[in-house]
Amino acid sequence: MLSVLKNAFNHVETSDEILVGRKIDNDPKVENLVNDLIDEVMVINSEISSVRPPQASLMENSKKLIDKTGSLRGRPLYHNYIGTGAGRGPYVELEDGSVKLDLINGIGIHIMGHSNPRVMKAAVRGSLSDVVMQGNIQPNNDYWKLTEKLVQIASRKSRLKHAWFSTCGTMANENALKMARQKNSPAKYVFAMKNAFAGRSTMMAEVTDNPAYRQGLPSYNEVIHIPTYDKKDPQSSEKAFNKMKEEYAKHEKDIACFVFEPMLGEGGFIPTPREFYVPMLEFCKKNNIAVWADEVQTFARTGEFFAFETMDLGQYVDIVTIAKTVQLGATLYTEEYNPKPGLIAGTFSGGSASMAAGLEILEMLEEGYLGPNGRILKIHQKFVQGLNYLNETTCKGLAQDAGGMGLMIAFTPFDGKKEQVEALIKKLFANGIIAFSCGKEPVRIRFLVPAIIEDQDIDLALEIIEKTILQGI
């Protein structure tokens, strides 16, 4: 045994072909098996082609599964949804036999839809690696490849230079906050926007401007909320900037960062003009307050990879957080904000399958989805035009204010009352569309549309929306 090892060490090969890992990567038999596997699953999935109602014979068992899941976790499911694990494009099959048109995609994870063969293949190849979950001290190649890709796309129009993985958007945000606070130590206060959503940790529940999400938790009072853009108020930009200046006058060097979502998600998908942010961003730069864009929801959806590119804000950002579409969380930061050793770590950096699939998704997005003539903006136009048409014709005044950015689309149904919107979401689900809500007053219907949706699927979505609105609430 010892002599075998000695020989192995003495034998110097110039090519990396001696590596077993590379043999697995390049083995034609493995490649054919993976291709055959995906092809076979896709043949079976091809039975799924459009929306289908529940099947009577499956409904009882499905209800049992839904109830059991709710009881096990101590809280019922929001939708009557247990997936079978099968889907195709924007369609997903549920245990009750129904097929739904999925316009929310796990709140924005599945940008390439369900059972996308390229995403599945990347995930399967990732799963063939020696470990399920990669950690920060023992990365495999997937780790640096995805980091390199993110840094490369992020640095094209900003000073961002590094990326650090985490398993979700909340943790990416926690790392961002720590970087901002460390660099600007001992500053502790955070400027955030009203109606912000930042995640579910104790601190992110405070950055989030929704008391219902921190009921019973103590207040740490470290976050100052700035008024959001109000398109009906011509003074809105000035009001926000004045609030920032007033608060700065009170706290001065104690402000560590300004975090903003380029377009607020929970805030109702109201696009915010660049000019609204610029005075505040200039002010932050002048006063060494870290500028942190929370792109957990906007990343890969606005027609460019980053909303800071779409909105031409790249020159200002020091830290950017992403998650969802890239299948794990990541914090991107400039040289200046690179933290000292010890500040960020964590056991998990991400699953091998997630990293491989995340990289594949980024590469797919570069194949015709981005840019002013890319598919994402075409989807946006068609969908929003269709909603506006309904609002002007058959559903007069009942589908107002359709808009958003790219694949993030919302409209206000009826009077935008919470109960009306909740009832409509349940009816849409029964009629075959999975949606969610956003915004407060008004509450809106939110869609996170997959990039692979075809025009005929958008037509079907509009038909179902029309039919459901006309059924009333």
Ligand X SMILES: Cc1ncc(COP(=O)(O)O)c(C=O)c1O
Residue 166 CB, shortest distance to ligand X, in Å, is: 9
Residue 73 CB, shortest distance to ligand X, in Å, is: 16
End-to-end CA distance of the chain: 76
Counting Cα atoms < 13 Å in the Cβ hemisphere of 368 gives: 5
String marking each residue 69-108 x if it binds ligand X according to CB under 6 A: --------------------------------------x-
Residue 180 CB, shortest distance to ligand X, in Å, is: 15
| E strands in 272-341 | 290-294, 319-322, 329-333
String marking each residue 104-143 x if it binds ligand X according to CB under 6 A: ---x------------------------------------
- To the nearest 5 percent, what fractions of the chain are helix, strand and coil? 45, 15, 40
The residue from 93, 96, 294, 360 that contacts ligand X (CB under 6 A) is 294
Nearest to ligand X of 169, 413 (CB atom) = 169
Category of 439 on φ-ψ map: left (φ > 0), alpha (ψ -120 to 50) or beta: left
Residue 361 CB, shortest distance to ligand X, in Å, is: 16
Number of residues that bind ligand X (CB under 6 A): 14
Task: Decide: is 209 part of the binding site for ligand X (CB under 6 A).
Answer: no
The residue from 122, 226, 296, 387 that contacts ligand X (CB under 6 A) is 296
Residue 169 CB, shortest distance to ligand X, in Å, is: 2
Q: Which of residues 172-191 bind ligand X (CB under 6 A)?
A: 173
Nearest residue (beta carbon) to ligand X: 169
Nearest to ligand X of 297, 420 (CB atom) = 297
* CA nearest to 96, candidates 335, 429, 336, 329: 429
In angstroms, the Cα distances linking 431 to 90, 98, 207, 398, 462 are 15, 10, 36, 18, 12
Report d(CA 455, CA 462) in Å as an integer: 11
Nearest to ligand X of 296, 365 (CB atom) = 296
Q: Which amino acid is at 302?
A: T
Structure tokens at 337: 């904000």
* CA nearest to 452, candidates 364, 373, 389: 364
Residue 432 CB, shortest distance to ligand X, in Å, is: 24
Which region, judged by CB under 6 A, interacts with ligand X, from 69-77, 197-205, 274-282, 358-366?
A: 197-205
DSSP state of 48: -
Residue 72 CB, shortest distance to ligand X, in Å, is: 21
Nearest to ligand X of 79, 118 (CB atom) = 79
Cβ proximity of 331 and 179 under 8 Å:
yes
Residue 13 CB, shortest distance to ligand X, in Å, is: 43
Structure tokens at 55: 């099947």
Q: Which of residues 309-338 bind ligand X (CB under 6 A)?
A: 323
The residue from 34, 163, 198, 424 that contacts ligand X (CB under 6 A) is 198
Cβ proximity of 196 and 207 under 8 Å:
yes
CB within 8 A of 344, min separation 6: which ones?
Answer: 164, 175, 178, 179, 331
Nearest to ligand X of 322, 390 (CB atom) = 322
Residue 371 CB, shortest distance to ligand X, in Å, is: 24
Q: 261 φ, ψ to 5°?
A: -90, 125
Report d(CA 440, CA 413) in Å as an integer: 13
Residue 307 CB, shortest distance to ligand X, in Å, is: 11
Task: Decide: is 272 part of the binding site for ligand X (CB under 6 A).
Answer: no
Nearest to ligand X of 126, 169 (CB atom) = 169
In angstroms, the Cα distances linking 137 to 209, 274, 345, 346 are 35, 40, 9, 9
Q: Which of residues 8-67 bind ligand X (CB under 6 A)?
A: none
Report d(CA 169, CA 313) in Å as an integer: 21
Which region, judged by CB under 6 A, interacts with ligand X, from 38-46, 118-126, 195-203, 229-237?
A: 195-203
Which region, judged by CB under 6 A, interacts with ligand X, from 136-144, 292-300, 388-396, 406-414?
A: 292-300
The residue from 94, 168, 290, 317 that contacts ligand X (CB under 6 A) is 168
Task: Decide: is 265 part of the binding site for ligand X (CB under 6 A).
Answer: yes
Report d(CA 110, CA 93) in Å as an integer: 15
Task: Decide: is 199 part of the binding site for ligand X (CB under 6 A).
Answer: yes
Which region, judged by CB under 6 A, interacts with ligand X, from 126-134, 192-200, 229-237, 453-461?
A: 192-200
Report d(CA 247, CA 259) in Å as an integer: 15
Which region, judged by CB under 6 A, interacts with ligand X, from 11-19, 194-202, 340-348, 429-437?
A: 194-202
Cβ proximity of 308 and 157 under 8 Å:
yes
Nearest to ligand X of 178, 467 (CB atom) = 178
Counting Cα atoms < 13 Å in the Cβ hemisphere of 412 gives: 15
Nearest to ligand X of 62, 175 (CB atom) = 175
List interacting residues with ligand X (CB under 6 A).
107, 168-170, 173, 197-199, 261, 265, 294, 296-297, 323
